[in-house]
Amino acid sequence: MKHIKYLTIMLITIFLSLSAFCLAEEAIKLPDSPMNGLTIFLEKRCIKCHSLQSDEKTFGPDLIRSLKNDDIFQIYGKLWSHSPQMFKYMEKKDISHPIFKRDEMKAVLDFLYFLNFFTEKGDVESGRAFFTNSICSKCHAIGRHGKRDGISLDKYKIYMSPIYLATSLWNHGLDMKFQLSARKYGWPELKGADLSSLSQFIVDFATEMDTRRVYSLSGSPVKGKMVFEDIGCLSCHKKNVYYDKRQKSALDIASDMWKGGPKMWTAMKSGGMKIPEFTADEFVDLVAYLYFINYPGREGDEDSGKEVFDNNCSRCHDNGPGPVLKEIRGRHDYLDLMTTMWNHSEDMLNVAKEKGVTWPRFLGHDMNDLLKFLVTKDNR
Ligand code: HEC
Ligand code: HEC
Ligand code: HEC
Ligand code: HEC
């Protein structure tokens, strides 16, 4: 009995220290399916003022453009900074201040980060031009276009997402490389927009009996990270390949994989590594993970965070209507703070108006630093 009790205590201690470690390790977790946030975006009626079609004029700013390259804290910072204007317009449109649960806040922020993942539009005409002018048509056929008796790409007609084509390009890349070298062709250049257009050209012009339609895959950064680590991408790329680079769309990342293919395959072979083949699911997950590199931002800076707090919050929180800092600091995790701050923002705004206080605006890493300061226990 005594042993069991001892063991239980041991296990609980280990569990607690592990969970504390996990919290310290990642301020905010990579999402499993960032697309889920779309539901919240619709439910909270964000869509009323923010179109997700960048060429459609709406009331609020184009979020696809304005949130590009932002990490999750920068996105939240913008959301917060612009809330007074938003509330004003919401009032006009009879939309009440949206209140979020913790999960909902996470989901909507994940979704906002994800907005630049599938941005290429592509079009059938460009797809036709790309196919007929590129060397792809020297070996392949699409419907009645391209090489007679060439290897047909018509079976890709059933796929509504270019990710399937991109996956196959990787999987068959090495064989194509041999064929290309045998004919002294260079390695074909491919951009994200080409993949999108080519895929649409196939959908419109291929002759295929199969009438199924397979729709988009959205990608899971969590699963992608596992693929990245399991396959051993880390043996050559020390970190996520896009570390410290600007955000790229899914199809641009897929084209980079194609561009880097020949060098990678050579390096993999000489390292005795099996060249991985992917299912479309694995491939889009991998690409989603590469895309999510910038998601957690850089590590927040406590001292700068204190400054942000002193400049923007303390006038209400240390000697004013809001709870004192001691009651806030070290008591919430990141997501709790983000949710509570947002849910309280309308009340805060009313107090700000009454007292003639200007609403804080967060630039750069301000929000990240502020939150880091607030989640950290005061040990001084
Ligand atoms: C009634 C219209 C309206 C609704 C509903 C609305 N917004 Fe806005 N939003 C705006 C306007 C207008 C601005 C620009 C405000 C300004 O210029 O300060 C804005 C700005 C933003 C920004 C900052 C963009 C930037 O360029 O910095 C984000 C992020 C944002 N909204 C997200 C959301 C989310 C998420 C929702 C749903 C919870 C939402 N909005 C609902 C009208 C709206
Ligand atoms: C020199 C000839 C050649 C060129 C040029 C070429 N391919 Fe291929 N391609 C092949 C061969 C051969 C295969 C079959 C390889 C295999 O079975 O692994 C193939 C396979 C494919 C597949 C998979 C087909 C399937 O059955 O699933 C796709 C998709 C593809 N190519 C697309 C392209 C695109 C897009 C281009 C232009 C950027 C291109 N190929 C250029 C020879 C070529
Ligand atoms: C054996 C070594 C090796 C492995 C393993 C490897 N790569 Fe690479 N990778 C390279 C080399 C070499 C390049 C070409 C770099 C260059 O062109 O400068 C490259 C290029 C890339 C590029 C293009 C980068 C750019 O900016 O254009 C991407 C994306 C990429 N790799 C992703 C991956 C992923 C994902 C995995 C795991 C599935 C992986 N790599 C595994 C060696 C490797
Ligand atoms: C104009 C005054 C004012 C400003 C400026 C202000 N707050 Fe508040 N804050 C309040 C008031 C009042 C409440 C209590 C609202 C309520 O209970 O509904 C509050 C509540 C909160 C809460 C919830 C506390 C809890 O545990 O429930 C947090 C967190 C918070 N504020 C953080 C901040 C941060 C961070 C800033 C600076 C960016 C800030 N506030 C700026 C007035 C303000």
pLDDT computed for residue 109 by the predictor: 98
Atom of ligand 4 nearest to the CA of 327: 26
pLDDT score for 24: 37
Q: Is the beta carbon of 340 within 6 A of some atom in ligand 4?
A: yes
Write the single-letter amino acid at 314: S
Please give the distance, rounded to the nearest whole angstrom, from the Cα atom of residue 95 to the centre of ligand 4.
23
Is residue 153 located within the same domain as residue 55? no
The residue to mutate among 128, 140, 178, having the most atoms of ligand 2 within 8 angstroms of its beta carbon, is 140
- How much is the CA Rg of the chain, to the nearest whole Å? 25
> Looking at residue 16, what is its pLDDT?
40
Domain contains 28: no
Q: Which of 172, 178, 208 to mutate to test the pocket of ligand 2 (most atoms within 8 A of CB)?
A: 172
Q: Which atom of ligand 2 is nearest to the CA of 198?
A: 35
Same domain, 367 and 243: no
Nearest to 295 by CA among 134, 106, 151: 106
Ligand 1 centroid to Cα of residue 82, in Å, is: 7
Candidate ranges 58-67, 246-255, 315-324; pick with highest mean pLDDT:
246-255
Same domain (yes/no): 237, 261: yes
Of 294, 328, 361, the residue at which a domain comes to its end is 294
Which residue has a Cα nearest atom 34 of ligand 2?
136
Q: Is 195 in the pocket of ligand 2 (CB under 6 A)?
A: no
**Residue recorded with tokens 């992917």:** 278
Ligand nearest to the CA of 235: 3
254 and 151 both lie in a single domain? yes
Burial 117-126 (b: 16+ CB within 10 A, else e): bbbbebebeb
Within a domain: 157:
yes
Q: Are residues 302 and 275 in the same domain?
A: no
Structure-model confidence comparison of residues 269 and 356, the more confident one: 269
Give the distance, in angstroms, between the CA of residue 1 and the centroid of all CA atoms in the same chain: 50
Listed residue (355, 349, 356, 322) closest to 81, CA to CA: 349
User: Taking 90 as the threshold, does the pLDDT of residue 274 lie above it?
Assistant: yes
Nearest CA to ligand 3 atom 10: 264
Residues 76 and 183 in one domain: no
Quote the number of domains for the chain: 2
In a domain, 163, yes or no: yes
pLDDT higher than threshold 70 for residue 361? yes
Question: At 5, is the pLDDT very low, low, confident or very high (cuts 50, 70, 90)?
Answer: low
Instruction: Assess if residue 155 is contained within a domain.
Output: yes
Same domain flag for 246 and 184? yes
Distance 264 CA to ligand 3 centre (A): 5
Q: What is the pLDDT of residue 213?
A: 92
pLDDT of residue 18: 40
Taking 90 as the threshold, does the pLDDT of residue 89 lie above it? yes
Substitution site in 348, 357, 372 for ligand 4 pocket (most atoms within 8 Å of beta carbon)? 348
Judge if the beta carbon of residue 257 lies within 6 A of ligand 3.
Answer: yes
Residue 137 and residue 109 share a domain? no
pLDDT, position 58: 79
Residue 155 has pLDDT above 90, yes or no: yes
pLDDT digits (tens, 9 = 90+) for 331-351: 999 999 999 999 999 889 998
- The closest residue, in CA terms, to atom 11 on ligand 3 is 264
Q: Cα separations (Å) of 239 from 45, 234, 282?
A: 38, 6, 19
Q: Do residues 145 and 216 both lie within one domain?
A: yes
Asked if 275 and 269 touch (Cβ cutoff 8 Å), the reply is: yes
Measured CA to CA, the distance from residue 213 to residue 107 in angstroms comes to 28
Read off the pLDDT of residues 106-136 as tens digits, 9 standing for 90 and up. 999 999 999 999 988 899 999 999 999 999 9
Percent of the chain at pLDDT exceeding 70 = 93
Q: Measure the CA–CA gap between 163 and 56, rounded to whole angstroms.
A: 25
On whether residue 17 sits in a domain, the answer given is no
Mean pLDDT of the chain: 90
For ligand 1, atom 28, name the residue with the nearest CA: 79
Shared-domain flag, residues 187 and 220: yes
The parent domain of residue 162 ranges over 124-294
Matching residue, tokens 């705004």? 349
**What pLDDT is attached to residue 240?**
86
Across the range 286-301, mean pLDDT stands at: 95
Question: Is 20 contained in some domain?
Answer: no
- CB 322: neighbour CB atoms within 10 A? 18
Protein residue with least CA distance to atom 2, ligand 2: 139
Amino acid 12 reads I
Higher pLDDT residue, 358 or 258? Answer: 258
Of 22-31, 116-125, 151-160, 360-369, minimum mean pLDDT range:
22-31
Asked if 249 and 328 sit in the same domain, the reply is no
Q: Which ligand 1 atom is nearest residue 92's CA?
A: 1
Q: Does residue 23 belong to any structural domain of this protein? A: no
Q: Out of 263, 278, 294, pick the residue that ends a domain.
A: 294
Structural domain contains residue 14: no
Q: Which residue, judged by its Cα, is nearest atom 8 of ligand 3?
A: 264
Q: Could you tell me if 284 and 342 lie in one domain?
A: no
C-alpha 257/C-alpha 19 separation (Å) is 36
Domain boundary residue, one of 294, 327, 349: 294
Give the amino acid at 71.
D
Average pLDDT value for residue range 318-328 = 87
Q: Which of the pair, 162 or 3, is modelled with greater confidence?
A: 162
Instruction: Pick from 105, 302, 317, 336 the residue to mutate for probing ligand 4's pocket: most ligand atoms within 8 Å of its CB.
Output: 317
Which residue's alpha carbon is nearest to atom 16 within ligand 3? 260
